């Protein structure tokens, strides 16, 4: 028999795949329970509601994504993005897509999105500081915009979007060193 942790892990993994592929609204509870191989009673026991499930999925995705960004250079940051897309697929930012689907009116989603974006900016700030030897909030913001732009443009331009963002970021870093 599966443990509660196994069930929760399977449910979150299934929900993340379905939300990422089909969106929050189009993914019904029947599809979630069928995909995870659990009953709706079990789903509600472990999560409570679809909104709580979405927030849990976003928080788990944030944890995994941030772990993939344990790099020490801006160039490696874009390598990590390429690696993420190679394993996860390039469909843009799940946080922003979910936030957009909910109209920004679901507190749990808004909080998860804001927390993720702040963590991403902080991580990029750390990478920039390590690369140029000092903190530069404006440069970190510029690299974030390139990173976010590449995240979305890759959905329709492929990896050339990441390459272009990487080159632009490299120019910014070189300018900051000069």
Indicate whether 17 belongs to any domain: yes
Query: 37 — phi, psi (to 5°)?
Result: 70, 40
Residues 85 and 15 in one domain: no
Check whether residue 44 and residue 70 sit in a common domain.
no
Backbone angles phi, psi at 143, to 5 degrees: -65, -40
Task: Flag residues of the chain having pLDDT under 50.
Answer: 1
pLDDT of residue 1: 47
Domains held by the chain: number = 2
Structure confidence at residue 2 (pLDDT)? 56
Q: Is 54 inside any structural domain?
A: no
Please write down the long-range contacts of 77-84, taking CB distance under 8 Å and 24 or more positions apart. Answer: 77/124, 77/127, 77/143, 77/147, 77/169, 78/147, 78/150, 78/162, 78/165, 78/166, 78/169, 81/147, 81/150, 81/151, 81/154, 81/162, 82/159, 82/162
8-state DSSP, 81: H
Q: What angle do CA 115, 152, 126 make, to 5 degrees?
A: 45
- Which alpha helices (H) appear in the chain, and where do they start and end? 4-22, 29-36, 40-46, 50-68, 74-88, 94-101, 107-132, 137-157, 160-177
CATH assignment of the domain containing 27: 1.10.10.60
pLDDT in tens, 75-106: 999 999 999 999 988 888 999 999 999 888 99
pLDDT tens, 102-115? 888 999 999 999 99
| Predicted structure pTM score | 0.90
Is there a single domain that holds both residue 15 and residue 68?
Answer: no
Domain range for residue 121?
60-177
């Amino acid at each position: 028999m599966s443990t509660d942790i196994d069930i929760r892990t399977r449910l979150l993994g299934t929900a993340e795949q379905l939300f990422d592929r089909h969106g929050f609204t189009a993914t019904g509870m029947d599809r979630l329970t069928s995909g995870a191989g659990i009953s709706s009673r079990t789903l509600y026991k472990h999560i409570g509601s679809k909104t709580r499930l979405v927030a849990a999925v976003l928080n788990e995705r944030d944890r995994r994504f941030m772990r993939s960004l344990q790099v020490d250079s801006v160039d490696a940051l874009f390598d990590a993005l390429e690696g993420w897309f190679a394993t996860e697929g390039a469909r843009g930012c799940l946080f922003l897509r979910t936030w957009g689907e909910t109209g920004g009116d679901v507190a749990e989603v808004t909080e998860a999105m804001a927390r993720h974006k702040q963590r991403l900016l902080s991580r990029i700030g750390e990478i920039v500081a390590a690369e140029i030897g000092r903190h530069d909030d404006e440069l970190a913001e510029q690299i974030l915009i390139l990173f976010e732009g590449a995240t979305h443009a890759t959905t329709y331009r492929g990896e050339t979007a990441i390459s272009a963002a990487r080159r632009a970021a490299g120019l910014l870093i070189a300018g900051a060193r000069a």
